[in-house]
Structure 1
Amino acid sequence: MQRGLAKVVLTLRSTEPAPDTITTLWKDGFLNRIDLDPLRKNDTERLLSQALAGPVAPATAAELWNLTRGNVLFLRHLVCQERDAGRLVSDVGTWRWSGEPVVSPTLAKLITGQLGSLTDDTAEVLDYLAIGEPIDGTVLEALTSPHAVKEVHSRGLIDMTRENGDIAVRLSHPLYGEVRRSTGNLLQLRRLRGRLATALSTRADPTPAALLRRALLRLESDLPPDLGLYLAATATALRLHDAPLALRFADAGHISDSGFQGAMLHYWVLNNVGRAQDAFTLLEALDQNALTLEEQRRLSVMRVGTLCWSLGDPERARQELAIAKVAPYNHKSSELAAFEALLESVQGRPDHAIAAGNVVFQTAPSDMAFVLTSCALVIAHGYSGNAAKVFPLTKRASALVATSSDASALEYGIVYFHIEAMFIAGYLQAAEQVMTQFVEYAANTPGTIGLFVSLLHSYVDLSQGHLNAALEVLNRADREFRTTTYDRSAVVSCRVYLILALSHRGDGKRAAELVRDLDTLNPYGFLRSACTLAKAWAAAAQQMIAEAIRLARKAAAIAADRGHFGQELLCLQAASQFGDHTTAHRLNELTGLVDGPRVHAVALHANGLTSVDGEKLAEASRRYEEIGDIVAATDASAQAGTLFREQQHHGSALTAIERARTLAGTHRGLNTPALRQAGETTPLTRRQREIVALVSQGFTNKEIAERLGVSIRTVEGHRYHARLR
């Protein structure tokens, strides 16, 4: 080593003492000493992806970093342990971690070694922080002793920071708390939680999170239940979208037995954790004779809402509404009038919804009624293509849901349908901004809206052609939606997006499987066109282009009959992407009916197909790209390339096809009919392409003939000519 004949790397844990023979090596200059800092979040994610030989979900990488704080030794033990336990698994090619961490004996031994020897007093300081950090320094010293707090701080086991004029004390590493909780005496920890909860109860809760922490400490302590505290904690957790935590408080306090307000709170909790039928059963069990007129009115509103959204039965909701409207306690109820507008909207009658909604706005509606009506009109105007009328509605409604406990549960619906309206109009960048703001807000709460936030992400990813990112979310969400009763419209939308994402990637087989029960799954008139459009994309992914065009036209007709001109626009855009040359006239009409830049891009696209004009198709592609619809931009450019090639304009063809490939990109995974056709070296006719695709899927000549409505002899002829090419 002194002669430089060998390269030596020595590693030493920073928490372990080094013998003099080792320290001499760097002190005397034989070796350079390098102190490695803990890994940063992005470095941790890269290391995990390399070690696991696959991408890691961002949420999983963040959780593992938060727990290990970049300590590679802890990270390695935790990853190996959780993978062996089956909690860290590869899900559709992406590694995900589920469940709570369990500290293995090996990891516990490592961390206990870092903690060193502890007296009863110093151990108690760590235990208090393990169950309730951060703790104000004054409170912690009163519960333990100033000397013990000073001792563990001097050993680097705790951190102190100044927050709002107080000293907040935390453990210096999250795993210290995990080890103390997993190895501590359960009865002793319950007693400590009780003492800490009692100490905190003498101080005002500075934040909602502080209230939840105090309530949770009491819930898990040796103290008797505190109904008032649990009621407040349930409402707070619900407002912060942490429904599972709200359910713990609601169940522990038996709040549904505490009167009407408690029952309503419990109803919302059950609804938000996906137990819609249990929530409705709770409503049905209430004794109406024991309720005031106002309580009876609120009960009827909740019944209608649960039937409409959570249970997905709008017809039964309409029957319930008709009964409730004639009840004496519902005289001039603005909430029931709002639900009338909403039911008209979800059944696909926008004109009726707008008329009913305007009646509500002319009164003095409650916060709940205003937000419900806004949601109804955002759906009606958005699907009708009137995006300009959506923006003022969402601005006022969003302000109300942020301050009203009654209306807060409707926040996701307002955001979702706002984004959908902007997508239809072609304001995709604005839609992404709204989504990002909402996700950031949700991420800063103790809990999140989970699947619904993911659905917003996937919607934007899908529109921009980020198929892998969209599929990662949608595959998981579709499974979870099927096992839990959530907002039914979100269940249907999730399935539609999943079919679209699979179809854009060319996975026709799986898309066709998911299409089968789509009509049964969907109870809403306003989503019928979208479901039919999903079927069209599934057919296109199977190379059944004629059928795809037929279904896209059918979806457009359904939308047009309902006055959903914005949705009709999306359907005719898809038909154009499939190569339909007959949509130009109607799209030219829609330019006067639909707001936003999308309609002009689609009209140009359709006119290019009708006039067999490659330059118009290329310009349409550029306009699609400007609004952010990368899938449509790719298809229009691919179609321009195919057309130029047929016209022997080889230079223009190469340019357009190369542009389509660049837009598709290797990371997007796009594989649409237009792209496939542009990539053919020996172009086939549309019918030949359909038959070849069906043959590759294992269909016989007879089955193909029945499917396409032609003779077996015709199928044989097309197969013969396709082989010659």
Structure 2
Amino acid sequence: MAPLVGRASELQEAAAALRAGSVVVIAPAGEGKSRLAREALAAEAAGGAFTAWVQATRSAAAIPLAAFVGLLPEDARVDDVHSGSLDALRKQADGRRIVLAVDDAPRLDPVSAALVLHLAEREVCVLATVRSGEALPDAIAAVAESAHRIELGPLDPVAVDAFVEGLLGGPADEMARHWVRETSGGNALYVEELVSGAVESGALSAAHGLWRLTGKPSVSTSLRELLTTRLEDLDSAQRAPLELLSLCEPLAHAELTALTSPSALRDVEQRGLVALEPDGAARLGHPLFGEVVAGTLPVLRGRRLRVQLADALERRSPRAPGDTLRVARLRLDAGAELPDVLRLDAAEAANGAGDPDLAAELVAPVAGLRAAMALARAHILRNGNAEAEAVLARAEPLAPGEPLAFPYVQQRAWNLTWKLRRLEDAVALLDRALTWSPDPAWTGRVALARRMETAINEGYSVVAELEPALADPTLPDGERFNLEAFAAMSALFAGDGETAAAIALRTCASLDPDSPLGVAAFAVAGQIEQETGEGAADMRAQAVTVLRARVRRGDHDGAALAATALGYRELMRGRYRDAALHLAEAETHAARHDHAGVLLYVRAYQVGVASALGDFEGAQTAMAGVDAALGGGAPLARELPQVLRARGWAARLRSDAEAGDVFVAGAAQIEQLPVHSAHLLYEALRCGVDVAAELRAATARSRSRLVAAFAAHAAARAHGDGPGLLAVAEQLAGMERVCFAMEAATEAAARFLDEARHDSARRAAARAAELHQPDQGTEPPVIDGLDAPAVALTPREQQIVQLVRRGLSNPQIAERLAISVRTVENLVYRAMIKSGVSDRRRL
């Protein structure tokens, strides 16, 4: 049986109400009213009540009392059933309270319905389920009138996610969860059918512990039949509004009224098949109706309706942002002619909406530079970067003098540099572009682009020309962002984390976070925080928000960026299994579209996860993925630090000594990048290499909280400074580098033990144990000379410590946990002893 999720409050409400009388649960089909009733009845039975289940059906309704077979005496008479029914139930209950559940109560035959009323009016607590909008027989209506009513709505998104993962028996990626949330509308039965159908078809499959949506799921036969039942009695006029909305949703209510019969529209609205929203938009009553209705629409009628809908959308003034794409899609599907301007506008919109196949289809017959750029963009979105370059190369003669000449140069240079790794060809293109016009404004923009292009492979050396360009108020948003992002990366590569973070945060604040530029700005800010510890403290929460938003928009590139950021942050938090799941999700998105080149980073971080988990084979596989992402070429300047780090992580599975050598050599290779080299030096420190002097020098050349913490760790270790190591642990934990913090606390405990400072050692060991992340694939830290069970806090002690830290007194803790004050005092005392502190305020 599927797990019951998202109904805890309703279940609690039913239990409380049944203690006082009868309960009626009302919900649309598939929302889980029967399941809730069964759980509530089971809870009553567990509490000592006598319980019985009566299932009403249409077939049983033809025979009086058929639903009560087994509960009533065999000789019960239809004309005198009341006299013996209660006595029969009392005899079976043997003194216990009686709770009778009646599922689908309106389907009872009249005699059975009257019996339910008779029992409810006496000592029987009735728990009845009723489908929303269903007419009630008089007897059941009388029961409902005096009963407590519980109305079930759709499951909320959190509950749907939990239900999906309960059905699958493991975590699912955001794409899968989003698809189920949107398609099911929160209907529990539909969730179950969608998941089972997607698994059966192979569209939903598990790999590396994560269920991923790898294909386009379709509605299963059983779910289609279930939905068809709700629509089968509609006449042609009533079906028309659903047909229109299945092809184009939403529509303004006035538009839908003009295209259909007003009376038929009212009928389907009353039946919940069409919903009118507060803003006047009309939608299908459930997302799944559209696929069922459109699948049965005759071809010629479908074409005619599409043309009518396209005409209606074109009459809008002003048009909504997505109207152009909808008009083009409708006319294309109807086989109608599309003017070139509509094809171009719609192709660009389709690319922006994450539908490159449609964009390519729309723009295929159109000539010109704009068409070539749209087609190239479609190729890039499908990871067809070589095909994009071929299209753009053929279009180069069209570029000089065109208003789109500079965007063309930017698009092509970006593809050559970041996707094809042909920097020389990108620079050559910019050299040719300098000759396209003598206009100083043109040559200035192209010259700056060329300078930035050459700087990419020189470690983002500071470009002095950026400041006057950024001061230009006429600079388009896209170009401004590119310059600001470059300025931030220049500061980062120069070691100035504070300035880099300030630029990135200022850029983020100036952009819509849900726009493509806003997502790119988030990625830049995230990379800076990742390397320096500077910037927003809530990057993980932001990444979760961005991931959900980009999946909702079908933006695989943005989703890959967010999932990669989450994977790295979980890696740093010591949550290695969670990191692996996020990176697997990022891999899925990047396989569909990797505009930003995140796949290399995904592979590098997967090496780190495998190294932490002791997975030699996994590290080798991920390292091979790093090499594959490089395509046989050398890494670019921004990629080199992560490649070097991944090589060191892989080497650590062979020996700390070998890994230390790899990390030190890598740091020397990028010595001109103080922040990035500091990361490699710190990894060498974790392998046992004394790099205190080198990290001190890196700190002097940079402004970065994280690098400063690295140097402090190295110095404290070199001087055998236990308190210093414990202080560093707190600094690192505050920056969510929990795996590093745990190591520093463990070293502090060992140092305190060497000095025979046992209380301090226990306190440090307890902190290290607290920082360890359970169920993430690694063992808790062990300090030689300390008894682990005596140091580790029990789950109850950990709970008490958390409440003490929140400022609660012993009596307040006792009241919250429903235990005695004396018990709290003992637990606090034991936690203090284990933690090596003499004051509860230091817990």
Q: How far apart in 2 are the matches of 1:191 and 1:415?
A: 45
Counterpart for residue 137 of structure 1: 253
Counterpart for residue 47 of structure 2: none
Q: Is residue 375 of structure 1 aligned with residue 470 of structure 2? A: no
Counterpart for residue 688 of structure 1: none
Counterpart for residue 109 of structure 2: 19
Contact 2:699 2:711 in 1 (8 A): yes
Counterpart for residue 304 of structure 1: 413
Q: How far apart in 2 are the matches of 1:60 and 1:399?
A: 31
Contact 1:422 1:430 in 2 (8 A): no
Q: How far apart in 2 are the matches of 1:41 and 1:201?
A: 35
Structure 1 pair 9–532 and aligned structure 2 pair: CA distance change class (3 A): farther
Partner of residue 228 from structure 2, selected from 112, 123, 127: 112
Q: CA deviation at 1:280?
A: 0.7
Q: CA deviation at 1:149?
A: 0.5
Structure 1 pair 281–330 and aligned structure 2 pair: CA distance change class (3 A): farther
Contact 1:383 1:566 in 2 (8 A): yes
Contact 1:235 1:265 in 2 (8 A): yes
Opposite residue 346 of structure 1, the aligned amino acid is: I
Q: CA deviation at 1:546?
A: 0.8
What secondary structure is seen at the aligned counterpart in 1 of 2:449? Answer: helix
Q: How far apart in 1 are the matches of 2:201 and 2:583?
A: 25
Partner of residue 533 from structure 2, selected from 397, 412, 426: 426
Opposite residue 621 of structure 1, the aligned amino acid is: A
Contact 2:532 2:705 in 1 (8 A): yes
What secondary structure is seen at the aligned counterpart in 2 of 1:89? Answer: strand
Q: How far apart in 2 are the matches of 1:210 and 1:4?
A: 69
Partner of residue 330 from structure 2, selected from 197, 214, 217: 217
Opposite residue 526 of structure 1, the aligned amino acid is: R
Counterpart for residue 159 of structure 1: 275
Counterpart for residue 171 of structure 1: 284
Q: Is residue 200 of structure 1 aligned with residue 313 of structure 2? A: yes
Q: How far apart in 2 are the matches of 1:22 and 1:493?
A: 67
Structure 1 pair 33–343 and aligned structure 2 pair: CA distance change class (3 A): same
List per-residue Cα deviations over 1:40-87 (Å, max 9, x = no partner): 332233333333222233442332132222323323332222211112
Q: Is residue 265 of structure 1 aligned with residue 342 of structure 2? A: no
What secondary structure is seen at the aligned counterpart in 2 of 1:156? Answer: coil
List per-residue Cα deviations over 1:376-426 (Å, max 9, x = no partner): 2222211332123224543665588769xxxx8766544322221122221
Opposite residue 423 of structure 1, the aligned amino acid is: Q
Give matches, 1:430-441, under 5 Å. Answer: 430-432=538-540, 435=543, 438-439=546-547
Counterpart for residue 618 of structure 2: 510
What secondary structure is seen at the aligned counterpart in 2 of 1:429? Answer: coil
Q: Is residue 33 of structure 1 aligned with residue 133 of structure 2? A: no
List per-residue Cα deviations over 1:205-230 (Å, max 9, x = no partner): 54313443333323322432243223
Q: CA deviation at 1:287?
A: 5.7
Structure 1 pair 263–402 and aligned structure 2 pair: CA distance change class (3 A): farther
Opposite residue 310 of structure 1, the aligned amino acid is: K
Q: CA deviation at 1:633?
A: 0.8
Counterpart for residue 692 of structure 1: none
Q: How far apart in 2 are the matches of 1:455 and 1:78?
A: 28
Q: CA deviation at 1:627?
A: 1.7
Contact 2:492 2:528 in 1 (8 A): yes
Q: CA deviation at 1:616?
A: 1.5
Partner of residue 562 from structure 2, selected from 453, 478, 484: 453
Structure 1 pair 51–393 and aligned structure 2 pair: CA distance change class (3 A): closer
Q: CA deviation at 1:566?
A: 1.2
Opposite residue 564 of structure 2, the aligned amino acid is: L
Contact 1:191 1:222 in 2 (8 A): no
Counterpart for residue 67 of structure 1: 183
List per-residue Cα deviations over 1:448-493 (Å, max 9, x = no partner): 5332332233233333333333211323434664x56734642322
Q: CA deviation at 1:121?
A: 0.7
Contact 1:294 1:329 in 2 (8 A): no
List per-residue Cα deviations over 1:156-188 (Å, max 9, x = no partner): 22211230xxx2222211222221122332332
Give matches, 1:50-89, under 5 Å. Answer: 50-89=166-205
What secondary structure is seen at the aligned counterpart in 2 of 1:223? Answer: coil
Q: How far apart in 2 are the matches of 1:444 and 1:45?
A: 15
Contact 2:574 2:773 in 1 (8 A): no
Q: CA deviation at 1:436?
A: 5.6
Contact 1:296 1:329 in 2 (8 A): no
Counterpart for residue 713 of structure 1: none
Counterpart for residue 251 of structure 1: 361
Counterpart for residue 133 of structure 2: none
Q: How far apart in 1 are the matches of 2:159 and 2:510?
A: 41
Q: CA deviation at 1:281?
A: 0.7
Q: Which has the higher helix share?
A: 1
Q: TM-score, normalised by structure 2?
A: 0.71
What secondary structure is seen at the aligned counterpart in 2 of 1:170? Answer: strand
Q: How far apart in 1 are the matches of 2:664 and 2:188?
A: 57
Q: CA deviation at 1:93?
A: 1.6
Q: CA deviation at 1:647?
A: 5.0
Q: Is residue 469 of structure 1 aligned with residue 578 of structure 2? A: yes
What secondary structure is seen at the aligned counterpart in 2 of 1:454? Answer: helix
Counterpart for residue 694 of structure 1: none
Q: CA deviation at 1:567?
A: 0.9
Structure 1 pair 629–394 and aligned structure 2 pair: CA distance change class (3 A): same
Say which structure, 1 or 2, has more relative contact order (CA 8 Å, 6+ apart): 1
What secondary structure is seen at the aligned counterpart in 1 of 2:283? Answer: strand
Q: CA deviation at 1:607?
A: 0.7
Q: Is residue 558 of structure 1 aligned with residue 669 of structure 2? A: yes
Structure 1 pair 373–341 and aligned structure 2 pair: CA distance change class (3 A): farther
What secondary structure is seen at the aligned counterpart in 1 of 2:720? Answer: coil
**Matched positions, count:** 663
Q: Is residue 615 of structure 1 aligned with residue 723 of structure 2? A: yes
Counterpart for residue 829 of structure 2: none
Q: CA deviation at 1:155?
A: 2.2
Counterpart for residue 638 of structure 2: 526
What secondary structure is seen at the aligned counterpart in 2 of 1:665? Answer: coil
My pick for the range that moved more, 547-556 or 496-505, is 496-505
Q: Is residue 286 of structure 1 aligned with residue 389 of structure 2? A: no
Counterpart for residue 446 of structure 2: 336
Q: How far apart in 1 are the matches of 2:212 and 2:681?
A: 39
Q: Is residue 501 of structure 1 aligned with residue 609 of structure 2? A: yes
Structure 1 pair 231–307 and aligned structure 2 pair: CA distance change class (3 A): same
Contact 2:399 2:405 in 1 (8 A): no
Q: Is residue 662 of structure 1 aligned with residue 770 of structure 2? A: yes
Counterpart for residue 746 of structure 2: 638
Contact 2:620 2:650 in 1 (8 A): yes
Q: Is residue 538 of structure 1 aligned with residue 633 of structure 2? A: no
Q: CA deviation at 1:613?
A: 2.1
Which protein has the larger Cα radius of gyration, Structure 1 or Structure 2?
2
Q: CA deviation at 1:445?
A: 4.2
Q: CA deviation at 1:626?
A: 1.2
Opposite residue 3 of structure 1, the aligned amino acid is: R
Counterpart for residue 90 of structure 2: 3
Structure 1, unpaired ranges of 5+: 683-725
Partner of residue 703 from structure 2, selected from 577, 582, 595: 595
Percent of counterpart pairs with the same letter? 22
Contact 2:376 2:392 in 1 (8 A): yes
What secondary structure is seen at the aligned counterpart in 1 of 2:600? Answer: helix
List per-residue Cα deviations over 1:666-689 (Å, max 9, x = no partner): 144456xxx76758999xxxxxxx
Q: How far apart in 2 are the matches of 1:184 and 1:156?
A: 21
What secondary structure is seen at the aligned counterpart in 2 of 1:586? Answer: helix
Contact 1:334 1:366 in 2 (8 A): no
Q: Is residue 574 of structure 1 aligned with residue 669 of structure 2? A: no
Opposite residue 772 of structure 2, the aligned amino acid is: A
Opposite residue 394 of structure 2, the aligned amino acid is: A
Counterpart for residue 704 of structure 1: none
Q: TM-score, normalised by structure 1?
A: 0.82
Contact 2:347 2:363 in 1 (8 A): no
Contact 2:273 2:284 in 1 (8 A): yes
Q: How far apart in 2 are the matches of 1:612 and 1:472?
A: 38
Structure 1 pair 82–487 and aligned structure 2 pair: CA distance change class (3 A): closer
Partner of residue 456 from structure 2, selected from 319, 340, 346: 346
